[in-house]
Amino acid sequence: MGKIVCLMGKSSTGKDTIFKRLQEDGALGLKTIVPYTTRPIRIGEREGVEYFFTDEAGFRRLKAQGKIIEAREYHTVHGLWRYFTVDDGQIKPESGYIMIGTLEAYRHLQDYFGADRIVPVLIELDDGVRLQRALNREMKQENPRYEEMCRRFLADSADFSEGKIRESGITRRFVNDNLERCMGEIKRYIQEALQN
């Protein structure tokens, strides 16, 4: 049975960059699970690549159909934004996958698919570096959302608290202060997990 690699970490730890690099690495043979969101699309994002973008009515329709695997909601300064994974035919039992999630999403995936099928990859980075990266990214947006950037940065402290990490049973962490070294460590870890 295939496994699902769940990349996790606070905002601006480099998850998207690592995700894209791992996707491009054909040696791992992992397919992508594209999550859904109700938040507005950002510059550079593409429908069906980073996310499937929908609205609250679309979320409610999928929920009524029993297709939501896991969902998180965030009360942002711009309103309610949801992020969720849908049982929409993307995930086949025999294949291996990679996705970006949160600790909460990771636990729900374990409940839905079984703990032995989910491989956690927790990426960490110094908070000062993360904040600078987030600011640099936000400054490139047509309509920067600085308040939301700050809210998300502060919320990450609670969402990825040491207690929650312990509760999730995650013991292996990857510090992304050197992308090439971090990529090598993550790739070796995933290769070992896929063989077990």
**pLDDT band at 161, cuts 50/70/90?**
very high
Mean pLDDT, rounded, of the chain: 92
| Amino acid residing at 16 | D
Given a cut of 80, is residue 26 above it in pLDDT? no
Taking only the tens place, the pLDDT of each residue in 81-135 is 999 999 999 999 888 999 998 999 999 999 999 999 999 999 999 999 999 999 9
Per DSSP, 155 falls in state H
d(CA 111, CA 68): 13
The pTM score is 0.86
Q: What tokens were used for 109?
A: 């995936």
Task: List 6's β-bridge partners, or say none.
Answer: 99, 120
pLDDT at 148: 85
Q: Where are the alpha helices (DSSP H) in 10-87?
A: 15-24, 56-64
Give 1's pLDDT tier (boundaries 50, 70, 90).
low
Provide the percentage of residues in the chain whose pLDDT is more than 70. Answer: 99
Secondary structure (3-state) at 36: strand
pLDDT band at 74 (very low <50, low <70, confident <90, very high): confident
DSSP 8-state symbol, 44: T
Task: Spell out the alpha helix ranges (H) of the chain.
Answer: 15-24, 56-64, 103-113, 127-139, 146-159, 162-167, 179-195
